[in-house]
C-alpha cells in the first residue's frame, strides 16, 4: 500500500503454562541456583517469564494456572484440598516469588487461578457467603503482600465469570482473564474493569458495548489483521493491545505474538 506506515500494537501477557520438566532439566536449574533455593513452582515461574522477556513483550506476566500450587501452599486451614478450619494465610512463599520476579522485570504482573479454580471443598463454614468471604479475604491479603514485595499487579485466570467473585476482588491492579468470554461475561467484567481480553471473532460484539460501558482498552488475543483493523475502527491505537496466554511452545509463541501485533495504516 503506497504511503502506508508500519505500526506495532503493545503486547500484553496473561501468563503461561510451561511443560513440567524432566529430572535432568530441573536438576540443572537447581544447580545454577545453588544457595538460592527454589522448587518446581519457582522453576515454572521463571520458565513462564523468560521467553516473554526474550521476545520483547511490552507487559510481561509471570505465572499461570500452575501457580495454584503456591496459593494452596499459603492457605492455612486446609487438609487434602478441603477447608477444615478457619481460612488463614501464610504469605511468605508468594512474597519470596514476588521479590524474585520483581528483580527480573520491574513491576511484572503475576497470573494465578481465580478462587473458583482452586477446587477447595468447604467442610468448615457450611455457609456459601461466609466461605466465599473468607477465601476472597485471603486472596486480597495474598495479592497485597505480593504487591508490597514488588509485584506490579495480578491476573486472575477464570473458566467462568463469577459475579460475586469479580465484585469482591476487582481492584485497579487486578485483572480477570477469561480465555473465551461470552458477551454476558464481558458485561459482568465491564462492571468492574475498563479493559477486556477478547478473541478475534468477538471484536464487533465487544465494540457494540461501548455505548453501555466505559471501555478504555481491548486486548485482542492472538490477533489477526482483520481483527486489528476492526478494533482500530472503534478505538484509538493506544487503546488496542495484542494479548497472549501461552499453553504450548512458549519461545516461539511469544515471538509470533509480537510479529502478529504489527499493522499498517
How many angstroms from the chain centroid is the CA of residue 243? 11
Cα separation of 240 and 14, whole Å? Answer: 15
Please tell me whether residues 202 and 158 are part of one structural domain. no
Do residues 24 and 98 both lie within one domain?
yes
Per-residue pLDDT averaged across 155-163, rounded? 96
Helix (H) and strand (E) counts in the chain = 10, 13
Q: Are residues 164 and 205 in the same domain?
A: no
Mark whether 44 and 75 lie in a shared domain: yes
Contact indicator for 209, 218 with CB cutoff of 8 Å: no
Distance between CA atoms of residues 28 and 171, nearest Å: 39
Beta bridge partners of 11: 242
Domain that holds residue 248: 192-259
pLDDT for 124 equals 97
pLDDT (average), residues 161-165: 95
| Centroid of chain to Cα 258 | 18
pLDDT by residue (tens digit) across 244-265?
A: 999 989 999 999 999 999 998 7
The pLDDT score that the predictor gives to residue 107 is: 86
Q: Which pLDDT value is given to residue 3?
A: 60
**39, 98, 114, 245 from 61: Cα distances, Å:** 19, 12, 15, 9
Q: For the stretch 180-207, what's the b/e string if a residue is b when 16 or more beta carbons lie within 10 angstroms of its beta carbon?
A: ebeeebbbbbbebbebbbbbbebbeebb
Torsions phi, psi of 244, nearest 5?
Answer: -145, 150
Query: Would you call 11 helix, strand, or coil by DSSP?
Result: strand
**Residue ending a domain, choose from 146, 177, 208:** 177
Mean pLDDT for 225-241 is: 95
Mean pLDDT of the chain: 95
Enter the C-alpha cell of residue 212: 453501555
Alpha carbons 243 and 261: distance in angstroms, whole number: 9
pLDDT band at residue 33 under the 50/70/90 scheme: confident
The pLDDT, as a whole number, for residue 254 is 98
Structural contact between residues 237 and 258, judged by C-beta atoms closer than 8 angstroms: no
Beta pairing partners, 89: 75
What are the cell numbers at 29? 536449574
Let me know whether 125 and 61 are in one domain: yes
Q: Which of 112, 144, 177 is the last residue in one of the domains?
A: 177
Q: State yes or no: pLDDT of 127 exceeds 60.
A: yes
Percent of the chain with pLDDT over 90: 88
186 belongs to a structural domain: no
Could you give the number of structural domains in the chain? 2
For residue 45, give the nearest of 71, 66, 72, 21 by alpha carbon.
66
Residues 24 and 155 in one domain: yes
Query: Averaged over 155-165, what is the pLDDT?
Result: 96
pLDDT for position 260: 96
Is there a single domain that holds both residue 219 and residue 94? no
DSSP conformational letter for 73? H
Whether the pLDDT of residue 1 is over 80: the answer is no
265 found inside a domain: no
In a domain? residue 39: yes
Residue 264 lies in a domain: no
**pLDDT over 70 percentage in the chain:** 99
- Domain assignment present for residue 66? The answer is yes
Greatest Cα pair distance in the chain: 68
Q: What is the pLDDT of residue 2?
A: 54
> Which range is least confidently modeled, 10-19, 32-41, 89-98?
32-41
> Which pLDDT does position 106 carry in this prediction?
87
Residues 171 and 206 in one domain: no
pLDDT in tens, 199-213: 999 999 999 999 999
* Boundary-marking domain end, from 177, 200, 234: 177
User: Is 61 in the same domain as 172?
Assistant: yes
Residues 62 and 140 in one domain: yes
Where would I find the beta strands (DSSP E) of the chain?
6-8, 11-16, 61-63, 75-79, 82-89, 109-113, 121-122, 153-157, 174-177, 195-198, 217-221, 240-246, 262-264
Amino acid at each position: 500500500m503506497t504511503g502506508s506506515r508500519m505500526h506495532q500494537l503493545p503486547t500484553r501477557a496473561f501468563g503461561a503454562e510451561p511443560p513440567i520438566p524432566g529430572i535432568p532439566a530441573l536438576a540443572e536449574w537447581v544447580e545454577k541456583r545453588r544457595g538460592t533455593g527454589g522448587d518446581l513452582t519457582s522453576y515454572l515461574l521463571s520458565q513462564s517469564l523468560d521467553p516473554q522477556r526474550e521476545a520483547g513483550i511490552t507487559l510481561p506476566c509471570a505465572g499461570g494456572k500452575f501457580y495454584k500450587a503456591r496459593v494452596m501452599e499459603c492457605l492455612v486451614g486446609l487438609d487434602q484440598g478441603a477447608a477444615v478450619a478457619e481460612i488463614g494465610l501464610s504469605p511468605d512463599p508468594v512474597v519470596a516469588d514476588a521479590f524474585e520476579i520483581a528483580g527480573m522485570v520491574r513491576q511484572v504482573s503475576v497470573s494465578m487461578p481465580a478462587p473458583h479454580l482452586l477446587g477447595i471443598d468447604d467442610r468448615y463454614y457450611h455457609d456459601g457467603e461466609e466461605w466465599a468471604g473468607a477465601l476472597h479475604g485471603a486472596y486480597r491479603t495474598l495479592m497485597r503482600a505480593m504487591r508490597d514485595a514488588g509485584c506490579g499487579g495480578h491476573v486472575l485466570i477464570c473458566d467462568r465469570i463469577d459475579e460475586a467473585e469479580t465484585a469482591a476482588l476487582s481492584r485497579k491492579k487486578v485483572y480477570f482473564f477469561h480465555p473465551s468470554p461470552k458477551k454476558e461475561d464481558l458485561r459482568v467484567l465491564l462492571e468492574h474493569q475498563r479493559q477486556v481480553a477478547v478473541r478475534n471473532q468477538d471484536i464487533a460484539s465487544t465494540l457494540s458495548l461501548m455505548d453501555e460501558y466505559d471501555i478504555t482498552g481491548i486486548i485482542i488475543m492472538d490477533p489477526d489483521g482483520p481483527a486489528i483493523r476492526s478494533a482500530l475502527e472503534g478505538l484509538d491505537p493506544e487503546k488496542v493491545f495484542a494479548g497472549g496466554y501461552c499453553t504450548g511452545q512458549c519461545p516461539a509463541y511469544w515471538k509470533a505474538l509480537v510479529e502478529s501485533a504489527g499493522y499498517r495504516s
